[in-house]
Amino acid sequence: MKHIARKRFGQHFLKDALVIEAIVSEIAPQAGDVMIEIGPGLAALTRPLVERLGQLTVIELDRDLAVRLREQPQLDVVESDVLKVDFSALAERLTPGKIRVVGNLPYNISTPILFHLLDHVAVVQDQHFMLQKEVIDRMVAAPSTGDYSRLSVMLQWRYAMENVLFVPPESFDPPPRVDSAIVRMVPLAEPPAIDLQRYGQMVQVAFSQRRKILRNTLGRWLDEQGFTGEFDLQRRAEEVPVHEYVSLAQAVQK
């Protein structure tokens, strides 16, 4: 029976064989890799991954699709909302090393998924995700550009990222109304030590009114934290490089 894409799950199923081959080439799965796929759907990407890996863990929320996936003995199916999956515990069950995470993420909850995985980055070797292209543009953006945002600052302190492949709407069934792309995310080997919750709060305040200078937003927050150090507040949030946000967060922690 043909599976009908469910709008509430943000389902758009990849169908273009050449695009699938290109994605797998970018992921470069190797025998022995412990990989987890988020949202395998109709297994368009799952099948070629399994051929190279031998086995694969998949996370699928749609009950009907999970039933189909369980028919394949090489798949370990976790039927769950990905935002409720403890990736650290899952990694501990699967391997003494680190996991590789891939997936065509539901565009309606892609940012919450990225932030959820940030909490488990210590067990991750790398991540390759299909996302809305404009989201990836924000993820990899440089300071003082229109795409530089809270998402840029929250992810770039911890990952080296690059947009590795453009994917047009006609590669899917049904086609989304937006362009898509593949992002590669590799956790930094020696990330700066910060209080992630405090850092996240600081960045959110800074970008809360991104057109105003930081004195009107972040300045007040810094005063509340008792910060007495030096920081140029005569800039907009989008003008501050990631390393300066990191240094400020570290100074506030002291």
Q: Does the annotation place 163 within a ligand binding site?
A: no
* Tens digits of residue pLDDT in 207-221: 999 889 999 999 999
Q: Domain 196-253 in CATH: superfamily?
A: rRNA adenine dimethylase, C-terminal domain (1.10.8.100)
∠ at Cα 148 (142, 154), nearest 5°?
95
Q: Does the annotation place 33 within a ligand binding site?
A: no
Q: Does the annotation place 79 within a ligand binding site?
A: no
Tokens of 86: 């403890």
Q: Which sequence spans correspond to the domains of the chain?
A: 7-187, 196-253
State the fold for domain 7-187: Rossmann fold (3.40.50)
Q: Does the annotation place 12 within a ligand binding site?
A: yes
Distance CA 176, CA 169 (A): 6
Q: Does the annotation place 14 within a ligand binding site?
A: yes
DSSP bridge pairs for 79: 60
Distance CA 187, CA 233 (A): 30
Distance CA 239, CA 189 (A): 26
Distance CA 29, CA 27 (A): 6
Can you give the pLDDT at residue 4? 44
Q: Does the annotation place 39 within a ligand binding site?
A: yes
What is the pLDDT tens value at each position of the chain, 254 positions in all? 444 444 444 456 798 999 999 999 999 999 999 999 999 988 999 999 999 999 999 999 999 999 999 999 999 999 999 999 999 999 999 999 999 999 999 888 999 999 999 999 999 999 999 999 999 999 999 999 999 999 999 999 999 999 999 999 999 988 888 999 999 999 999 999 999 999 999 999 999 998 899 999 999 999 999 999 999 999 999 999 999 999 999 999 87
